[in-house]
Structure 1
Amino acid sequence: MQIEKKIIKFNQDALPENFVAAATYIDSEKEAYHAGILIRLENVNYLCHYPGFRTPPTIEEGFNEENVIAYKILDSFDNDEGDVGAFLAQCYRVCKETKITYGYVIDGSRYKDDGVFESKLGLPEIGTCVGFCINILANSIIDVTDSFYNLDDWDDSEVDEDIDAFGVREALNKYPSLDWNLYDAFKKRIKPIEYISSSFLNDFPITKQNINAIQPLVEAVIAKKFA
């Protein structure tokens, strides 16, 4: 897998001028805490991410923050201008159309080619930074036929209670007739470290067991590169 070589600290290496990568911010404790998609098109960097809470998703054109991002280039995209440019255009469509509400829901939904959210089970557009990224990638990676992750492997045991309470209040205000049984059934937390670890795996849906097998190695590489 060449984990040490493929986990890259932005912007420590001169790499291809076109790529799509899973990215995560790294805090002072060398832990992943916020997910995004890093896109490089003709040597210009774009960070597509959902800051969360009441801040809408955005694309930071010309992204150039040093020593805060780790990323891994995704094998599912060709590193050419056409493939990467098409994906970046899709990210712009999603950011234009999205009406996402922050909350710990991930249910296998995705954004269609026109950037509009397509609910898989009838739940409204609710998600975290990881969920937002996965819902974009799921429509663009041809090998994802049903779900990016095997969602039965995750539950609500690791949600942050205060953030969860915020999300519930937001959903109550925005969706008064929400099916709360369905909401609770898909209340799950997939952490940013799991997200970037899963970028080494290409058999979909990705299982938590397979992520767990490589996550300690990914954490060790991040700790070393951000020392």
Structure 2
Amino acid sequence: MFEIINTLSEKDINKDFVAIGALINKEKSPYHASLIINYKSALFQFHYTSQEIEFQKVNYNYFHKRTQTIHEDEIPAFIAYCNSIKKKANPTYGFFYSGEYYDSNGTHFSQKSTGERMTCVGFCLNVLKGFLEEDYIKYKDWNSSSHEETDYLQKYAEEHNLDVETIAESHRRISPLEILTSGFFDNLPISKNNIDDKSDEVKEYLFNY
């Protein structure tokens, strides 16, 4: 599966691209997601660390899969969009996503009470939806059972003085493995079934790399 590239040690055949990137742990399992941008022979990472947003040259050992949803001619506009987000965004960490996005000015837009709460994956989804101006994935395919931590929602609501009932429908976990796998599809929005059908193959490739 040569479409998955080790970002720092392998040469991608495309000169300019936007890709979905993932870091893997000692068990060879993805644990963090980022957007990887290659433009004029410079590699950048755009991601949410759970504490801050970074837009800088790649300094982590990612694996990435180019997305065909953003054309190479659009990369300068995408970089400008990312810079706008970097200036304005102020996310907090939480396992929530319900179709939110950053608009062309870098302002976060949400119709849910969760507001600008997201994981590293959720950040990538906010960025992709905002730039593409349509849902990147069928996020409702994931429900609260996709996050397996016991009593997470109740504890989060108590800690942040939120009402469980109003945030429950936004609670879901889309994993770094799943968003990396999404890079194999370009018919939007991408379904969980499509991702599930491919994710074991991606997982095995990473494990055996």
- TM-score w.r.t. structure 2 length? 0.90
Aligned-residue offset at 1:39: 0.5
Aligned-residue offset at 1:166: 11
Aligned equivalent of 1:203: 187
Please point out which of 59, 66, 79 is paired with 1:73: 66
- d(CA) in 2 for partners of 1:214 and 1:76? 18
Superposed, 1:164-179 pairs within 5 Å as 164=152, 168=156, 172=160, 176=161, 178-179=162-163
- SS of the residue aligned with 1:222? helix
Contact 1:149 1:207 in 2 (8 A): yes
Of the structure 1 ranges 216-225 and 130-139, higher mean CA displacement relative to structure 2 is found in 216-225
Aligned equivalent of 1:59: 55
- d(CA) in 1 for partners of 2:180 and 2:90? 25
- SS of the residue aligned with 1:58? strand
Contact 1:101 1:126 in 2 (8 A): yes
Aligned-residue offset at 1:167: 8.0
**Unpaired segments ≥5 residues, structure 1:** none
Contact 1:9 1:70 in 2 (8 A): yes
The verdict on how the C-alpha distance between 1:71 and 1:166 changes in structure 2, with shifts beyond 3 A counting, is: farther
Q: CA RMSD in A?
A: 2.3
Please point out which of 43, 46, 70 is paired with 2:44: 46
Contact 1:101 1:167 in 2 (8 A): no
Aligned-residue offset at 1:56: 1.3
C-alpha distance after superposition, 1:67-124 (max 9, x if no partner): x3110111012224xx212111111111211111110110001000000001133531
Aligned-residue offset at 1:141: 2.2
Aligned-residue offset at 1:158: 3.9
- 1:93 maps onto 2:89 in alignment: no
In percent, how many aligned pairs have the same letter? 27
- TM-score w.r.t. structure 1 length? 0.83
C-alpha distance after superposition, 1:7-33 (max 9, x if no partner): 111121143331100001011111100
Contact 1:103 1:167 in 2 (8 A): no
Aligned-residue offset at 1:182: 2.6
Contact 2:30 2:176 in 1 (8 A): yes
**Unpaired segments ≥5 residues, structure 2:** none
C-alpha distance after superposition, 1:14-71 (max 9, x if no partner): 433311000010111111000000011111111001111xx111112x2243xx3110
- d(CA) in 2 for partners of 1:41 and 1:30? 28
Please point out which of 9, 13, 16 is paired with 2:6: 9
Aligned equivalent of 1:151: 139
Contact 1:36 1:129 in 2 (8 A): yes
The residue type paired with residue 92 of structure 2 is T
- 1:133 maps onto 2:124 in alignment: yes
